[in-house]
A and B are shown apart, each in its own frame.
Chain A
Amino acid sequence: MTQAVVVEGLTKRFGDFVADDALSFTVDQGEIFGILGPNGAGKSTLIRMLNTLLKPSAGRALVMGHDVATRTAQVRREIGVIPQANTVDGDLTALESLDLYARFYGMGRRERKQRAHELLQAVGLWDWRDKAAGTYSGGMRRRLEIARGLIHRPRVFFLDEPTTGLDPQSRRVIWELLESLRAKGDLTILICTHYMDEADRLCDRLAIIDHGKIVALGTPAELKRNVPGEEMLTIAFVQEIDDELLADLKKLPEVREAAREDPHTARLILEGDVVPLEAITDLSRARKNKARGITLVEPTLEDVFIYYTGRGLRDEATEGAYRYVVPSMMR
């Protein structure tokens, strides 16, 4: 498969502060590639380098075969970008906004009109097309930005935290939009997020970045599998769990730990990956307390994220350093 994005040893320094440190990865065409990381990890800097907004300090990156440092004009024609900050022009209507951007790409009047119609329908803003964007809700503005980023049919679409600050309904609408774009198969999407459910649902592959380095890379399933830790099991009983039943569960050789999650549910931590289904059934029968359901609790992407990036809050210092050294217009 052809590679839409190639990143090799990409580094960005702001003075002594290294925002991104020799990052390397590739993104295949048609893939949705997620970039996860805590605040200040270097995600936005990476996206901005790939968007030609920041010049790399070292290494190189190719977007659709064009070097982001030397062939900026070619790169800009290939990409659509939804920046982290809201960049919607509140004084313009949705139609005017799309028309303005289409003109930046030299599109003809007829094509502009047709494409704007098609995109505003797709993002559900057709009925709002003649209203100033300043009157839109946060979700509507984000959808307008998505339409704007797609106006010139880019081949690589960058989204920097596209659903941050949106309500669950708006987030779902944006996810569905991105899924429909993926279904067409001709658009490569790079999405920066720190929402685990978003990454899990949308991304084919993920890179977790922390302190400017890639600490994990793979599909969501691969990343979850690679997290070392206990298998967990919850068992819901019909009647309340008494101390004897809990003690019997603890005595099972496959079980390391057993505890009540609530009066009817027991949570077991297993020694290995073998689930003692028969023993549990026998115990429930012997104690005359039927098991209504057994659920295997798998690690979530959040567990993966915390495993690789830790629990400590360190964004304050990093963000502070970032803000201090970053040139004007950065924030």
Chain B
Amino acid sequence: MSFSTGFSVSRTLAVAERDLRRFRRNGTLLIPMVLMPIIYLVILGKSMGGDLKHLPVAVVVQDRGAAADEVVNRLFILAQSRELFRLGSEPDPTTAVDRLRAGDYKGVVVVPPGFSEHFTRGEPALLGVVVDNTDNTSAAVIEGELRAAFASGMGPRAASATAAVPGVQVERVDVYGHKDFMQYLVPGVIALALFFVAMLAGGIILVDDRARGIHEGYFVTPLSSLDLVLGLTLSALTLSMIIGSGVLGAAVLIARLPLIGGLSTLVLAEGCILLLGLGLVLFMFTLMARVSNPLTPRALFGILNVVTFFPSGALYPTESYPAWLNGLSQVFPMRYAVHALRSLLLKGVGFGPVAHDFLIMALFAGTMLVLAVTMFKRTL
């Protein structure tokens, strides 16, 4: 029988100690694991999702009335107060659209002839907005901001939009205070750091050791599969906790995330890191239980990263996924960890609302432990 059921605390600790000693002696290996998520946080946080600024927008005024002046004034206010637009003036729509096609503008606002007259008479006054919709993010923001700016008080309509309701004002209230995109990313980068640890300790190094014959040396001793899997898990989990906590601390500082809930939030976040780290490490052990080619984990790295991380809700709300992607993301513990960490760190909700996430992560880790020990061959 290839699966040996024996277990010894001393043997398990010996395996874990050896593994940790090796990590300590190859400390440079750990630097990318800490740096990568931090770089991810900073670059992604600063390049995506934050407030857009300085969008180049052309204004073409073909009407000389008071309402047209009011439109231009409002645009200048938007440009100056929030730095949302960088306004330019064009003599006619054709020139403006040509320059938009050439990439000089992201949008063109056309105040057509007769605009003021229609507005004064109380008739629908049509404001033309042409956008470069190859950049959907900028296009949506330009349209949205113009709609919001002219919905209150003026009541004009953008050419491509449905009618805004004149006189209705919408005021946004942030229930958790202002949160920027970088803070939104913090749970994701912690999960990403744990994925890197699992990939290195549970995948790459495990298979390298096997290829180097280290395990062959172990297999002729009384060491059981359980000793080996638990020992390697213990060392990888220790590493996960160190790296995960380090990234949590650094991310909280860099993203200026206030720790709502104080110590209890911190303890729960550490608990979440432990459960996710455990699940991911055992998941890797299961995948690599019989792999002997050192290139395999390296080849799988990118695929596993995409499959587990991107659908986890780390970057985009899971509610908007199609059903199949939603199903895929529900299989992996990343989704639950991201949800739990976001609830804890950004909302300070306490244990109750994340108990479900913790339970699913624990179940995943338990299932992976059984699979890893069962599949981990004790013979060649």
Contact = CB atoms under 8 A, between A and B. Distances in A.
A87 B104 CA distance: 64
A108 B137 CA distance: 67
Interface in A268-287: none
Contacts of B22: 89, 91-92
A73 interface: yes
Nearest to A103: B14
A106 B10 contact: yes
Could you say which interface size class chain A belongs to?
20 to 34
Contacts of A326: 380
A89 B214 contact: yes
Interface string A95-115: 010001101111000000000
Contacts of A327: 290, 377, 380
Interface stretch (A49-57, A235-243, A292-300): A49-57
A180 interface: no
Most chain A CB within a 10 A radius of its CB, from B13, B291, B379: B379
A252 interface: no
Nearest to B25: A91
A92 B18 contact: yes
B222 A91 contact: no
Given A53-B380, A328-B291, A76 B210 contact: no
Contacts of A79: 220
Interface on chain A toward B: helix, strand, loop, or mixed SS? Answer: loop
B25 A329 contact: no
A135 to B, nearest CB: 12
A104 B380 contact: no
A26 interface: no
Interface residues of B, number: 35
A201 to B, nearest CB: 26
A299 to B, nearest CB: 37
A96 B17 CA distance: 10
B14 A329 contact: no
A73 B4 CA distance: 9
A96 B10 contact: no
Contacts of A54: 379-380
B220 A51 contact: yes
Nearest to A154: B220
Given A106-B8, A327-B380, A52 B220 contact: yes
A83 interface: yes
A71 B357 CA distance: 44
6 contacts: A53-B219, A87-B213, A89-B217, A103-B10, A103-B14, A328-B290
Interface of B: 1-2, 4, 6, 8, 10-11, 13-14, 17-18, 21-22, 25-26, 210, 212-223, 290-293, 377, 379-380
Given A54-B379, A72-B1, A327-B290, 14 more contacts: A53-B219, A76-B220, A83-B216, A85-B216, A87-B212, A87-B213, A89-B214, A91-B26, A103-B10, A104-B14, A104-B218, A104-B223, A329-B215, A329-B292
Interface of A: 48, 51-55, 72-73, 76-77, 79, 81, 83, 85-87, 89, 91-92, 96, 100-101, 103-106, 132, 148, 326-331
Q: Which 4 A-B pairs have the closest CB atoms?
A: A328-B292, A87-B217, A87-B213, A103-B14
